[in-house]
Amino acid sequence: ADRSALLGQPVTVTIPTQALMTPRYLNGKVTRVAVSAVELSGTRYAAYELTVEPDLWPMQRDRNLRIFQGQTVPQIVKTLLGESRVNMEERLSGSYRVWEYCVQYQESSLDFISRLLELEGIAYHFRHEQDRHTLVLTDAPGQYEPFPGYETIPYHVTPSGGSTDEEGISQWALEDSVTPGIYSLDDYDFRKPNAWLFQARQNPLSPQPGSIDVYDWPGRFVEHGHGEFYARIRQERWQVEHRQTQGTATALGIAPGHTFVLRNAPFFGDNGEYLTTVAHYRFEENRYASGPDSNTLHEIRFEVIPADVPYRPAQKTPWPRTYGPQTAKVVGPQGESIWTDKYGRVKVKFHWDRLGKGDDTSSSWVRVSSAWAGQGFGGVQIPRVGDEVVVDFINGDPDRPLITGRVYNEASMPPWALPAAA
pLDDT at 163: 46
Enumerate the H helices of 173-280 as residue ranges.
224-242
Instruction: Give the C-alpha separation, 196 to 184, whole Å.
Output: 13
User: Mind giving me the DSSP string for 116-132?
Assistant: HHHHHT-EEEEEE-SS-
Distances from the Cα of 295 to the Cα of 146, 216, 288, angstroms? 29, 53, 11
Task: Locate the domains of the chain by residue range.
Answer: 3-53, 57-138, 144-320, 326-407
pLDDT digits (tens, 9 = 90+) for 217-240: 888 888 888 888 899 999 999 989
Range name among 162-176, 245-259, 320-334 with the lowest pLDDT average: 162-176
pLDDT at 373: 86
Decide the pairing of beta strands 169-176 and 243-249.
antiparallel
Question: Which CATH architecture is the domain 326-407 placed in?
Answer: Beta Barrel (2.40)
Q: At what angle do helices 224-242 and 109-120 cross, to 10 degrees?
A: 90
Higher pLDDT, 218 or 289: 218
Name the β-bridge partners of 367.
402
Instruction: Give the C-alpha separation, 247 to 276, whole Å.
Output: 10
pLDDT at 209: 53
Higher pLDDT, 158 or 254: 254
Max CA separation in the chain (angstroms): 94
Residue 289 banded pLDDT, cuts 50, 70, 90: low
Share the mean pLDDT of the chain: 89
**Among the listed residues 160, 148, 175, the one whose alpha carbon sits nearest the alpha carbon of residue 248:** 160
User: Mind giving me the DSSP string for 163-176?
Assistant: --SS--EEEEEEEE
Is pLDDT above 60 for 249? yes
DSSP state of 68: E
Range name among 172-186, 188-202, 310-324 with the lowest pLDDT average: 188-202
Instruction: Give the C-alpha separation, 251 to 14, whole Å.
Output: 15
pLDDT digits (tens, 9 = 90+) for 95-139: 999 999 999 999 999 999 999 999 999 999 999 999 999 999 999
Residue 347 banded pLDDT, cuts 50, 70, 90: very high
pLDDT at 22: 78
Distances from the Cα of 376 to the Cα of 343, 372, 373, angstroms? 11, 11, 8
pLDDT digits (tens, 9 = 90+) for 135-193: 999 999 999 999 988 999 999 865 554 445 678 999 999 988 888 888 888 888 888 88
Q: What is the mean pLDDT of residues 326-345?
A: 94
Name the β-bridge partners of 275.
259, 305
Higher pLDDT, 85 or 182: 85
Instruction: Give the C-alpha separation, 134 to 86, whole Å.
Output: 7
pLDDT at 144: 96
pLDDT at 85: 95
Decide the pairing of beta strands 258-263 and 133-138.
unpaired
Instruction: Give the C-alpha separation, 65 to 239, whole Å.
Output: 35
Q: Is 9 helix (H, G, I), strand (E, B) or coil?
A: coil
The sign of the CA dihedral 334, 338, 342, 344 is positive
pLDDT at 47: 85
**Among the listed residues 404, 403, 397, 405, the one whose alpha carbon sits nearest the alpha carbon of residue 187:** 397
Residue 356 banded pLDDT, cuts 50, 70, 90: confident
Instruction: Give the C-alpha separation, 290 to 300, whole Å.
Output: 24
Q: What is the mean pLDDT of residues 55-64?
A: 96
Reading phi first (left if > 0) and then psi (alpha if -120 to 50, else beta), residue 24 is in beta
pLDDT at 43: 86
pLDDT digits (tens, 9 = 90+) for 31-51: 999 989 888 878 888 888 899
- Domain 57-138: give its CATH code: 3.55.50.10
pLDDT at 195: 76
**Among the listed residues 131, 127, 169, the one whose alpha carbon sits nearest the alpha carbon of residue 148:** 127
Distances from the Cα of 379 to the Cα of 12, 345, 346, 370, 371, angstroms? 66, 14, 16, 6, 6
Please name the amino acid found at residue 269. Answer: G
Q: What phi and psi, each to the nearest 5 degrees, are found at residue 85?
A: 60, 45
pLDDT at 207: 64
Is pLDDT above 70 for 326? yes
Higher pLDDT, 313 or 20: 313
pLDDT at 386: 94
Name the β-bridge partners of 346.
366
